[in-house]
Structure 1
Amino acid sequence: MSDDPVAVLQRWEDAGAVWRVLHRNDASVTVGLFTCDGGEEVDRVTSDAAALLAFIGARTSNLD
């Protein structure tokens, strides 16, 4: 996976798959990467990158 967590989530969305915020606090976020039907978790991204926190904002998933 890319070192850029925003690029990872964007590629995941572009492929038609689902990402969901699993945990967040003021400093970091953990995002689960799920299959296209949203059923099976395939991977996770945990990051404190400001760009990722801004990209996600208040959303809980890419379906928001």
Structure 2
Amino acid sequence: MSERSKSSRRGFLWGAAATGAAATAVATLPKVQPDLQAPVAEPLPKPERGGGYRLSEHVQNYYKTTRI
């Protein structure tokens, strides 16, 4: 048997095995469905004189990560 046919067959088998493993992983993962009854946050009122910056929890967490 030639070297080319061995490598071709080997590549095909590796590809088939990888495809089977990926299909098994997708089939066994839990199905995630979005929660359609999630509460909607009401928007905050606009500032009267501009300057909409607020020091929220998200911003504070960002500042903590930038400290040296």
TM, length-normalised to structure 2? 0.19
TM, length-normalised to structure 1? 0.20
Please state which structure has a larger fraction of its residues in helix. Answer: 2
Structure with the larger RCO, 1 or 2 (CA within 8 Å, 6+ apart) = 1
Work out which of the two has the higher radius of gyration on C-alpha atoms and give 1 or 2.
2
Please state which structure has a larger fraction of its residues in strand. Answer: 1
